[in-house]
Amino acid sequence: MNRTTSSLLTILLLAATAQAQKWINPNFDAHRLDFRTLGYPDVTEIEADNSPITALITARNGRVYGATSGKTASFLFLYERAINKVRPLGRIGDAKGVHHALVQDSDGSLLIGGGLNMLAPAPLTQKFPGGFRAIEEQLWKDVVAPYTNYPGGHLYRYDSAADKVTRLTSEPCPVEDLGVPVRGDSIYALALDAKSRQLYGISYPHARFFVFDLETKKSRDIGSPLDRQVYSGPERTWRSVPRALHVAANGRVYTSGEDGRIVYFDPASQKLVRTTMQIPGEYWEAWNYHGYPVVEQWVFDAKGNLFGTTSDGYLFQMRADREQIVNLGKPRIHRRVRASVLGPDDRLYMICGEFEDACKLISYDTTGREGFRDWGVLTVDRSPYYAKRAYQFDAMTAGIDGTLFIGESDRRACLFLFFPGGKHFEGGFNPANPR
């Protein structure tokens, strides 16, 4: 190579690097953010349209598991720290989606709730007869239409001993089928009480609260926390159904219900109980409209403080012993908190923003030192090697060292890694005892 050719290549490389700098997010240090593809490209990678990440969990052994939702199938995958890569683990039964329904049992196995792809566009009827509440009535018909003749989402158990094998996308994941807890519905949320061996869930679109006994492998339909069909979110064409459950130390299982009121399942009476607590959101009382927000996530810290987020984009703290909701504010003017997790620096990290708009990473300092902080859009710049600006996310989890894993939910999705850093990060991070 002569000097002229070498100089020309250097100029082209510098030009490409400068061009890639448009990806840089000025709101935080670029070295704190990176991403991983979901497998080796053209070999094991989960293909586009089946790769949107809709569930993430950090297991006690430190491994990060995730599940996707797609046009034809849902896949389980594993991020392995030893090789710093994502390994696909195969198709999950006949599921097309796993929507925030991934929990770990006391023996280390994973419990997975399957269903249809919640991210699939909902075909809406354009012309229909008018009349009182005609739009709401037609919208309900359109929401339930994909579930016509649908047998229902299955519960699966995955043994982590099968982690040793990386599987192609044509191969099934070795799961045990535990059956269908609610006929005709997808599984929308899960929570486990390992002591009582009870698995709690909510279905979609009929919003049935169910209890699955892991010993007898039988399911009980307790009823619905909602009385009416409303469409205040999480997305504009979804029925408003709470998508998070919290199992308290006393065995009660908390979620939200009609009019945004907190409800809980009482294991003693086997009934749903409505409280006076109301989650923050937009309540259009003066309009000829009935709607309310729902709980999107629950997060608790080492001190026992319980935080919740809503489909209207609010953050709140719940004090169940006082029947008190404390509104901590709304980090963005946009609706929705799509995912949230507690970081190693005492900050609650949230992915905020609506569908088809750029999500932002925003944190809330639970110590009261800082309040909200806008970290901006998630943008990776490793030019000239690779760069990526992502817009849609739907899942988060904190790794054992404090790394935040954020699941992209666009059609060709990747697993993002965010490193919070800071003085509270020194010495590592234990998710069982966050500081």
User: How far is Cα 160 from Cα 170, in angstroms, rounded to an integer?
Assistant: 20
pLDDT (average), residues 8-27: 54
**172-213 pLDDT per residue, tens:** 999 999 999 999 999 999 999 999 999 999 999 999 999 999
Q: Which of the pair, 435 or 309, is modelled with greater confidence?
A: 309
Range in 123-127, 230-234, 413-417 the model is least confident about = 230-234
pLDDT (average), residues 280-297: 85
Output the pLDDT for position 12. 45
Binned at pLDDT 50, 70 and 90, residue 23 comes out as low
Output the pLDDT for position 28. 64
- For the ranges 28-42, 116-130, 262-276, 378-392, the maximum mean pLDDT occurs at 262-276
H, E, C per residue of the chain: CCHHHHHHHHHHHHHHHHHHHHHCCCCCCHHHEEEECCCCCCCCCCCCCCCCEEEEEECCCCCEEEEECCCCCCEEEEEECCCCEEEEEEECCCCCECCCCEEECCCCCEEEECECCCCCCCCCCCCCCCCCCHHHHHHHHHHHHHHCCCCCCCEEEECHHHHHCCCCCCCECCEEEEECCCCCCEEEEEEEECCCCEEEEEEECCCCEEEEECCCCEEEEEECCCCCCCCCCCCCCCCCCCCCCEECCCCCEEEECHHHEEEEEECCCCEEEEEEEECCCCCCCCCCCCCCCCEEEEEECCCCCEEEEECCCCEEEEEHHHCEEEEEECCCCCCCEEEEEECCCCEEEEEECCCCCCCEEEEEECCCCCCEEEEECCEEEECCCEEEECCCEEEEEECCCCCEEEEECCCCCCEEEECCCCHHHCCCCCCCCCC
List, in order of start, the domains of the chain with CATH numbers. Answer: 31-425 (2.130.10.10)
* pTM check: above 0.85: yes
Output the pLDDT for position 429. 39
Beta strands in 74-180 (DSSP E): 75-80, 85-91, 102-104, 110-113, 155-158, 175-179
Burial bucket for residue 371 (CB in 10 Å: 0-12, 13-18, 19+): exposed
Residue type, 15: A
**321-368 pLDDT per residue, tens:** 999 999 999 999 888 999 999 998 899 999 999 877 889 999 999 988
What mean pLDDT is reported for the chain? 89
Residue 258 confidence (pLDDT) above 70: yes
Q: Which two tokens stand for residue 376?
A: 């901006």
Binned at pLDDT 50, 70 and 90, residue 423 comes out as very low
Q: Is omega for the bond preceding 52 within 30 degrees of 0, making it cis?
A: no
pLDDT (average), residues 7-24: 52
